[in-house]
Amino acid sequence: MFALKIALRFLTSKKTDDDSPHTHFLSFVTLVSVIGVCVGVLALLLVTSVVNGFEKELTQIISGTQGDIIFYSRGSPIRDRESLERKVREFTPNFEAITGSFVSEVMFNGPNGVSGGIIEGVDPQTWGSVTSVASHLQKGGVFPTEEGQIAIGESLAEKLGVKVGESIRVILPFSGYEGDSGFGSPRVQDFVVTGLLHLGMHDYDSKYAYSLLPSVQRLVFGDSAGVKDYITSFRLKLTNSNLAPQSAVELSKHFGFPYRVKDWSQLNKNLLYAIQLEKGVITALLTAIMIVAAFNVISALLMMVYEKEKEITILRVLGMKMRDQFILFSWVGSFFGLLGTLAGVILGLFCVFILSKTHLIQLPAEIYHLEYLPVVIHFTEWCSIALMAFVICFLATVVPAAKIARRSPVEGLKWTA
C-alpha cells in the first residue's frame, strides 16, 4: 500500500521544484498516452454499440415483419390448414401465437411503371398477434379490411407513383400451382391502396404488399371453389424471439417434405452474418489500435525515468526494494490506463446518449437499410472492453516498470549529481 500512496502522491501533487519544466507529474507525454487510451476505448465502445444497434434494429424489423418462425410448404399450397395448425402449435417450443398467410411473388403496376415484389394475403384476426406490420402504417393509412384493398411499402408506392386511395394493378405471371392444373395463364387484379407501410428496412419497404387472405387466394386461384382454406405458410410468434433457432429446429424434426421451417435469423442470414463479421473485424482492428495506444503508456513511463530520476534514486537509497519500486511504477502506469479507460467510457456513454436521443447521424436508407445510426449498449460487452483496455495498459507497464526497478541507485546518483 506504501507504493500506492507514493504513486498517488506523485500523480496528484503539484510540483514546486523551480528547475522542473513540469508543474505536474502528468506531463505532455503522459497526457498523450492517456488520450490515446481514451480514444481507443471510445472507438471500440462506439463501434460495437453501433453494430449492436444495427443488429437489434434489423432483428426487430425482420422478426416484426416475418414473425419469429415461418413454417411453409414448398410446391403446392397447404390444404389441411386446421389440422396442420394444431400440429404446429403442439410441436413448437415456446409457442405464443400463429397466423396463416398466402404469399406469392407478383408484379405491381402503377402510373410510374412496373416493379416486382411480394404480396401476402393475411388473416386479420390473427395477423396482429404475430407480426407488427400493421403498426408501421404511415399516418392517414389503414390496413385492408375488405377484399380488393392493399397496403404497400412506401418505397414501392414511390416507385409505382401511387398514393393512398389510388389503384395499382397486381400481375401474377403464372396462376395456379404445378400439380393442380399446371402453370396457368397470367392473372391481373386491381387493388386500392389503403395504406403505406414504413417497415424500416428498404428491402421490405420496396417489395412487400399486404392484402386480405381471400384477395390473394382469388388472385392466385381465380374463383375456383374450395380454395378458401389454402395458404402457403404459417407465421409463428414465440414467447422469446431469441429462442427461435432452437424452436425451429425442434419443430422441423416433426415435419418432412414438402414442409420447411425457418427462423428469423435464417431470413436475411447473409446480412446478419455480414454484421457479425464486420463487428469481429472492426473489434480486432480497434484492439490493435488500443495496443498501439498502450505503447504510449510505455513511452510515458520511460519519460518518467528522466523526470523522476531523483525520486527513483533516493527511494532506492533509502531502502525501497526493487519489487516495491516495480509495484510503484506499475500503479502509475495502471493509473494512466485507468484514467484513459474511464475517460473513454464516460465519453462513450455521452456519445451513445446523444446518438440515441437525437438520431444525430442520418443514413441513406437505400444503402444501410436504416435511416439513422442506431446504438445499443451491451453492459457486459462494455465491461469487457474496459477491462481489456485496462489489462493491455497494465501489461504495457510491466516492461518499463521492471526496467525502472532494476536500475542501480548509483546510476541515478551519477546523473542527478
Partner 1 sequence: MDGLVLRARDLHKDFIKGDSKLQIIKGVSFDLMKGDCVAIMGASGAGKSTLLHLLGGLDRPTSGDIYFGKKLVNLWKMSDEVLSKFRNENLGFIFQFHYLLTEFTALENVMMPVLISGESRSAALSRAKELLDFVGLKDRMEHRPAELSGGEQQRVAIARAVMMRPKLILADEMTGNLDSENSRRVIDLLLSLNRELGIAILLVTHDHDVASRMKRVITMKDGKIQTS
Residues at the interface with partner 1 (CB under 8 A): 2, 5, 9-10, 13, 15-18, 20, 25, 310-311, 313-324, 408-410, 413, 416-417
Which has the closest alpha carbon to 166: 189, 191, 141, 201? 191
Closer to partner 1 by Cβ: residue 159 or 308? 308
Residue with cell 485507468: 338
Cβ 382 to partner 1 shortest distance, Å = 35
Cβ 408 to partner 1 shortest distance, Å = 6
Residue with cell 445499443: 376
Cβ 10 to partner 1 shortest distance, Å = 6
Closer to partner 1 by Cβ: residue 269 or 414? 414
Closer to partner 1 by Cβ: residue 25 or 390? 25
Cβ 317 to partner 1 shortest distance, Å = 5
Q: Is-contact 177 75, C-beta < 8 A?
A: yes
Cβ 297 to partner 1 shortest distance, Å = 21
Q: Which residues contact 291 (CB under 8 A, 6 or more apart)?
A: 392
Closer to partner 1 by Cβ: residue 69 or 315? 315
Cβ 9 to partner 1 shortest distance, Å = 5
Closer to partner 1 by Cβ: residue 96 or 311? 311
Cβ 320 to partner 1 shortest distance, Å = 5
Closer to partner 1 by Cβ: residue 371 or 411? 411
Q: Is-contact 219 170, C-beta < 8 A?
A: yes
Packed helices 269-307 and 322-358: angle between N→C axes, nearest 10 degrees: 140
Q: Which three cell numbers stand for residue 306?
A: 528522466
Position 360, amino acid: L
Contacts 24+ apart (CB under 8 A), 399-404: 399/298, 400/298, 400/301, 400/302, 400/305, 400/329, 400/333, 401/301, 401/326, 401/327, 401/328, 401/329, 401/330, 401/333, 402/326, 403/302, 403/305, 404/301, 404/304, 404/305, 404/312, 404/325, 404/326, 404/329
